[in-house]
Amino acid sequence: MNSTQQLYSRPTDWLHEGQLAPYVDAFTHYLSERRYAPHTVDTYLSCITHFARWMSQCQLDIHCIDENVVQRFLENHLPQCACTKPVHRTRSNLRAALRHLLVVLRDEAVIAELVWGTTPIDEELRRFDDHMNQVHGLAPATRSMYLRTVCRLLLEQFGDRPVVLSAITPEDVRRFVASQSELYSTPGSAGSLISALRGYFRFRITCGDQMHALIGVVSYPANWQLASLPQALSSAEIERLEDSLGWEGPSAHRANAMVRCALDLGLRCGEIARLALDDVDWRAGTITLRRTKGRREDILPLPEATGCAIADYLKLERPQTTSRAVFVRHVAPCDQPIGPDCVRKAIRQAYARAGLPYTRAHLLRHTMASRLLAGGSSLKEVADVLRHRSLNTTLIYAKLDSRNLAAVALPWPGCAS
């Protein structure tokens, strides 16, 4: 055993006697405030103990810690870690604990705030992001996706050199699109690649660059959106799904209410996740959707079954929280609304309990449209309920309107009329 290992004979010595010692209490308080379970707090303390040991071995100063240092620890040290036991080596726990540690150290003003990079490409992406946000008002998720695509293009063309758009040729763009198309499984998903490139080239035109030749190179892939029937649940499958909602288990009331919102109102997963307590008017029996995909506020009637499911969740299962969101996290970090992925997971699990071979949450939105048409609603009424800006978006459901299609169907050639 070397002298350093003798000095730190206990595992916790690396933490409580090292550079992180003054911030252990702040780290523990940060996790406890967000209602992390005691055993999770202990696990994360073990994780940063391993990190503290590595810092000591590398003689790293605490003020130099950032995402790059954490990446070095995870990518270089962890795979060939030879630290004496006991040390925590679970990568997912280490990554999570160190992410929290960086937040705490920044709150304590120990390390610098996270800032954009300073390379020419970083500067270019920052300007493009500002343009998308301030001029076009694109959603953060859309901007992030566009930035990733443009970043790959610029890195391939320029690396760490200055960005000179006039140096990009149409052939360069063709090769880039061909290489990136392998990342997309359908023509529809590949359309996002083209949208990102065309949006960036148009941005550069506003800056005075001649980019029309490059815009002409990128065209959207053929995507026959109306070629197939939209998939929807049958009446028997809907009944099976509704029967499965009476289950008992952790977060059962929350899952039931979220499935009801999708099935009865045709809400998107993101819209369900963003519902706030102030959006539900119990006296008027309405629900207000804010920050929707169409960037509008819409008021919908609240069906009795949906309202009862939401009320049961609020009364019986929703934890005490300062969040004004209807659906909140039940596990740490608490006091935060759920995300769309939580809604998708709840719907997939509902399918499984009902014995249905489906996975897509959006299927319930198609089912809503199908039920409206079967009940005699017009396409305009379906468009209003689904909140489509253009009636063309709703036309795909015309194929499901069996009642009206039967009225205009012509007899089969050669048959007796």
Known catalytic residues are 268, 293, 362, 365, 388, 397
CB-CB contact of 241 with 259 (8 Å)? yes
Give the position of tokens 């280490």. 94
DSSP category for residue 166:
G
CB-CB contact of 100 with 27 (8 Å)? yes
In whole angstroms, what separates CA 143 from the centre of its chain?
A: 13
Q: How far apart, in whole angstroms, are the C-alpha atoms of residue 318 and residue 310? A: 10
First-to-final CA distance of the chain:
97
Task: At 107, list the tokens.
Answer: 């709150």
Task: At 196, list the tokens.
Answer: 């990102």
Give the position of tokens 């050669």. 414
299: β partners: 288
| Nearest of 103, 371, 110, 102 to residue 235 by alpha carbon | 371
Specify the amino acid at residue 255: A
Q: How far apart, in whole angstroms, are the C-alpha atoms of residue 241 and residue 371? A: 15
Three-point CA angle 238, 244, 247, nearest 5° = 160
Specify the amino acid at residue 156: E
Between the CA of residue 193 and those of 101, 173, 199, 214, what are the distances in Å? 35, 12, 10, 14
Task: Label residue 295 left, alpha or beta by phi (over 0 means left) and psi (-120 to 50 means alpha).
Answer: left
DSSP category for residue 189:
H
SS3 content of the chain, % helix, strand, coil (to 5): 60, 5, 35
Kindly state the helix (H) or strand (E) to which residue 155 belongs, with its residue range. Answer: helix 140-158
Q: How far apart, in whole angstroms, are the C-alpha atoms of residue 147 and residue 128? A: 8
Residue 197 CB: number of other CB atoms within 10 A? 22
276: β partners: 325
Q: Which positions ≥6 away from 163 have C-beta within 8 Å?
A: 120, 121, 124, 154
Q: What is the rounded radius of gyration, in angstroms, for the C-alpha atoms of the chain?
A: 27
